[in-house]
Amino acid sequence: MSLTSDQQHELKELTSQKFSTKRPTVPALEEILYEPLKVLDHGFVRVVDYMGDDAAIVQAARVSYGKGTKKVNEDRGLIRYLMRHWHSTPFEMCEIKFHIKVPIFIARQWIRHRTANVNEYSARYSVMDKEFYIPAAENLAVQSASNRQGRGEVLTGKDAERVLKLLKEDAEQVYDHYEEMLNPEGTALARELARMNLTLNYYTQWYWKIDLHNLMHFLRLRADGHAQYEIREYANVMIDVLKKWVPITHESFLDYRQNAQNLSAQAFTVIKRMIAGEKVTEESSGLTKREWAELQATLGETDA
């Protein structure tokens, strides 16, 4: 993980400044403000700005309820109620802005979440840094036989060594060619063209601003065990940020989103039959084979 010299200078200037404000601030988040939090080999996440806290969510929710019900729930109870019943607008009142350094192939996956404001490093304007992602050996795996977008068994021995060697050599070579094409005493190719041969494991950077509701949606999907390992690492760091920023919301997010289970009407019926003492099998459940397997996994069962 590294910041450029300009970013290091900016960080020094920002952390040396002090501001007085009438707006609520969050001490735990202020402690890590601007600081890069390491992800993968060269990546990072850092908070550069935020607005609102747990109290802002409560304030927004009570506006819609009206003055007469102001004391119905304590803050924690109200936030848990909002989360439990999938209310969204009170959480949209809080926003956070991140500076993120991420491999390009993960950035292309990340950008599919179209609910944020994004401003990415421009390789048309600036020269790309020579920093690329090389997975740790334990994260190299073959294609899953059952999941077209997932990984199977971990590569070991000479196979793993060969893949790591290829990844590094390819990334090194394309950057050498990139520099050669940019050379003002050589071809002096335009930056917008020279960048096109860089591999997808090179790092890009962006500022990513999002409201709390959509941030939690992103984290619920990308911190899930089925998500790709690399983006999951970023999501896990951001969940730690969430805990510092809005601890009550973080608690309810874990309870009602990340660690909760969604059941279809048919699966719920099966569970009620089981509770009533009925012996339900895959054949009698009315579920498809996949649905039955997923229900068994949810219930912690290994055999029907």
Rounded Cα–Cα distance for residues 214 and 95 (Å): 10
Q: Are 132 and 199 in contact (CB under 8 A)?
A: yes
2-to-36, 39, 46, 276, 286 alpha-carbon distances in Å: 8, 11, 12, 59, 54
Which two structure tokens, joined as six digits, stand for 271? 């569970």
Backbone angles phi, psi at 38, to 5 degrees: -65, 135
Burial of 18 (0-12, 13-18, 19+ CB in 10 A): exposed
Rounded Cα–Cα distance for residues 299 and 282 (Å): 14
Known catalytic residue: 114? no
Label each residue of 267-300 as H, E or C: HHHHHHHHHCCCCCCHHHHCCCHHHHHHHHHHHC
Q: DSSP labels for 55-119?
A: HHHHHHHHHHH-GGGTTSS-HHHHHHHHHHTT--HHHHT-EEEEEEEEEHHHHHHHTT-TTSEEE
Catalytic residue among 46, 191, 222, 232: 222
- With a CB cutoff of 8 Å and minimum separation 6, the contacts of 140 are 154, 155, 160, 163, 164
Other CB atoms closer than 10 Å to residue 233's CB: what's the count? 21
Q: Residue 96: beta bridge partners?
A: 50, 210
Catalytic center residues: 222
